[in-house]
């Protein structure tokens, strides 16, 4: 077994009606003046925000609101939140919503006790040492940000989307009530399920093996999504299916699915450029590129691809290459079955030009300053190749082909 370190400080409070505990839990953590961060209005329409505010009132906790977080959240709103939080002497940040609200809350909580520019942390100019406590009430199982040590923000100047990973970014607690996900549009449910799968697959397809329990946990998360995504899409108020998806989302990105493995993460980096350039949902972007990445990379990780084929999909064609290809196809069939794209044209409604591909790949390497991936280390030419495959990806006679 490969060595690892694991600590996930986030307390998970899971179950129906649990959002009503938020005031008490914040008080226990010492919070007295809370900044509530939320998105474009779904939490107002559902009545969740006013329920949360009533719970805070009952416990005598003060609050201020900062709404308007957009999907693929922006640095300018983070700056506004930091200013507001400092001025109003906020001592706790509560995100109510999906990954974008949570990531904005995390970045604001980093910036309030700091004296410099918060983007410095994303540029790795400085390391964060302090953060205000952050809690979340999750409404969209997808990013795992409710227990992850990451925040992902887009700086508008230059359209740069960057993730920041530090243990202090894990929330102190997260409330997961599956009922809060009943109002999700089908596209967001499906996109979230893809993201959950991908947080597992990105870790699964890496160099290294031997951590059997880690692999079994990963496979269980994958099976959970394959089973429950169609049920939740068919019946949005199915508590059992929504619960399984919600918990899978947290498990998939709290590190448990990849302990002892380095992880690959190329598909995520390749996708981040698509959501930055075209404003698409992160999970849908992953679905559009993963199959192309997988076909490009499978030669380097045949043992992992055949394990995935056999253990998750029960595929046995009698030949490693056949098993791996078949598993990639099955995964893409699953994406299609839940309404997700498996190519760039399906994602954005048109193919991208060769010039766009070059720009996407250049930005993906942070203008030539990094490589991505671990199973296959990718520079600009390799990243361009994956975008090209995803751009011309079509099914002919039962087989996906590269052009």
Rule CB under 5 A: which residues touch Zn ion?
A: 195
Query: Per DSSP, which regions of 98-155 are E strands?
Result: 134-138, 150-155
Minimum separation from the CB atom of position 146 to ligand NZQ (A): 9
> Pick from 139, 211, 228, 331: which binds ligand NZQ (CB under 6 A)?
139
d(C-alpha 288, C-alpha 308), whole Å: 20
Residue nearer to ligand NZQ on the CB measure, 68 or 322: 68
Q: Exposure pattern of 289-321 as b/e (b: 16+ CB <10 Å)?
A: bbbbbbbbbbeebeebbbbbbebbbebeeeeee
Q: Please answer whether residues 278 and 295 qualify as being in contact, where contact means their C-beta atoms are separated by less than 8 angstroms.
A: no
Stretch that binds ligand NZQ, among 57-65, 80-88, 140-148, 217-225 (CB under 6 A): 140-148
Cβ contacts of residue 213 below 8 Å, gap of 6+? none
The CA distance from 220 to 366, in Å, is 35
Binding mask 162-201 for ligand NZQ (x = CB under 6 A): ------------------xx-xx---x---x--x------
Identify what 98 binds: Zn ion, ligand NZQ, none; CB under 5 to 8 Å per kind: ligand NZQ
Q: Is residue 250 a contact residue for ligand NZQ (CB under 6 A)?
A: no
From 23, 31, 85, 97, residue interacting with ligand NZQ (rule: CB under 6 A): 97
d(CA 255, CA 294) in angstroms, rounded, equals 22
Residues 6+ apart with CB under 8 A from 20: 51, 55
What, of Zn ion, ligand NZQ, none, does residue 170 touch, CB below 5 to 8 Å by kind?
A: none
Closest distance to ligand NZQ from the beta carbon of 241 (Å): 15
Site for ligand NZQ in 111-130 (CB under 6 A): none
Which residue lies nearer to Zn ion by CB, 42 or 275? 275
* Among 6-14, 74-82, 86-94, 149-157, the segment contacting ligand NZQ (CB under 6 A): 149-157
Is residue 285 a contact point for ligand NZQ (CB under 6 A)?
Answer: no
148 makes contact with ligand NZQ (CB under 6 A):
yes
Best CA proximity match to 180, nearest among 18, 349, 5: 18
Integer Cα distance of 147 and 249 in angstroms: 9
Nearer to ligand NZQ, 142 or 309 (CB): 142
- DSSP secondary structure string, 175-229? EE-GGGGTT--HHHHHHHHHHHHHHHHHHHSSS----HHHHHHHHHHHHHHHHHH
Please state the closest distance from residue 151 (CB atom) to ligand NZQ, in A.
5
CB of 201 to ligand NZQ, least distance (A): 12
Stretch that binds ligand NZQ, among 74-82, 136-144, 371-379, 384-392 (CB under 6 A): 136-144
Q: Is 71 in the site for ligand NZQ (CB under 6 A)?
A: yes
Which tokens go with 317? 């064609």
Under rule CB under 6 A, residue 327 binds ligand NZQ? no
268 binds ligand NZQ (CB under 6 A): yes
Task: Tell me the Ramachandran region of residue 136: left when phi exceeds 0, alpha when psi lies from -120 to 50, beta otherwise.
Answer: beta
41 vs 52: CA distance, rounded Å: 14
Instruction: Check binding of 304 to ligand NZQ (CB under 6 A).
Output: no
Least distance from ligand NZQ to the Cβ atom of residue 209, Å: 23
Residues 6+ apart with CB under 8 A from 3: 260
CB of 132: closest distance to ligand NZQ in angstroms?
A: 17
| 78 Cβ contact partners less than 8 Å away, ≥ 6 residues apart | 104, 107, 108, 111, 118, 153
User: Tokens 């060595």 map to which residue?
Assistant: 3
Task: Give the interface with ligand NZQ as residue ranges (CB under 6 A).
Answer: 39-43, 71-73, 97-101, 103, 139-140, 142-145, 148, 150-152, 180-181, 183-184, 188, 192, 195, 253, 268, 275, 282-283
């Amino acid at each position: 077994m490969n060595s690892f370190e694991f600590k996930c400080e986030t307390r998970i409070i899971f179950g129906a009606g649990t959002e009503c505990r938020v005031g008490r839990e914040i008080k226990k953590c010492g919070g007295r003046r809370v900044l509530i961060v939320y998105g474009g209005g779904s939490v107002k329409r559902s009545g969740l925000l006013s329920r949360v505010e009533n719970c805070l009132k009952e416990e005598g906790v003060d609050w201020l609101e900062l709404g308007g977080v957009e999907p693929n959240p922006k640095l300018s709103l983070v700056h506004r939140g930091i200013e507001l939080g400092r001025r109003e002497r906020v001592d706790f940040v509560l995100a109510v919503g999906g990954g974008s609200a949570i990531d904005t809350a995390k970045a604001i909580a980093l910036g309030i006790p700091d004296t410099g520019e918060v983007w410095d942390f994303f540029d790795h100019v400085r390391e964060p040492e302090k953060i205000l406590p952050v809690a979340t009430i999750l409404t969209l199982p997808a990013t795992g940000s409710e227990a992850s040590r990451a925040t992902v923000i887009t700086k508008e100047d230059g359209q740069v989307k960057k993730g920041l990973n530090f243990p202090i970014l894990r929330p102190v607690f997260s409330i997961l009530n599956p009922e809060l996900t009943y109002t999700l549009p089908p596209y967001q449910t499906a996109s979230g399920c893809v993201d959950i799968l991908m947080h597992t697959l990105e870790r699964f397809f890496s160099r290294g093996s031997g951590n059997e329990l880690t692999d079994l946990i990963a496979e269980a998360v994958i099976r959970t999504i394959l089973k429950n995504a169609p049920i939740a899409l068919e019946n949005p108020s199915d508590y059992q299916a929504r619960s399984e998806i919600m918990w899978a989302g947290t498990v998939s990105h709290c590190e448990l699915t990849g302990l002892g493995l380095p992880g690959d993460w190329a598909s995520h980096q390749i996708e981040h450029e698509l959501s930055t350039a075209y404003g698409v949902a992160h999970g849908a972007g992953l679905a559009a590129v993963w199959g192309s990445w997988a076909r490009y990379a499978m030669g380097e990780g045949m043992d992992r691809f055949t394990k995935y084929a056999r253990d998750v999909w029960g595929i046995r064609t009698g030949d490693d290459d056949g098993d791996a290809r078949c598993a990639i196809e099955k995964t893409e069939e699953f994406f299609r079955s839940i309404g997700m794209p498996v190519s760039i044209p399906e994602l954005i409604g048109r193919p991208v030009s060769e010039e766009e591909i070059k720009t996407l790949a250049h930005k993906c390497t942070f203008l030539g300053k990094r490589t991505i991936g671990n199973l296959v280390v990718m520079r600009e030419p390799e990243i361009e190749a994956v975008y090209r495959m995803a751009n011309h990806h079509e099914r002919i006679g039962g087989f996906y082909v590269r052009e």
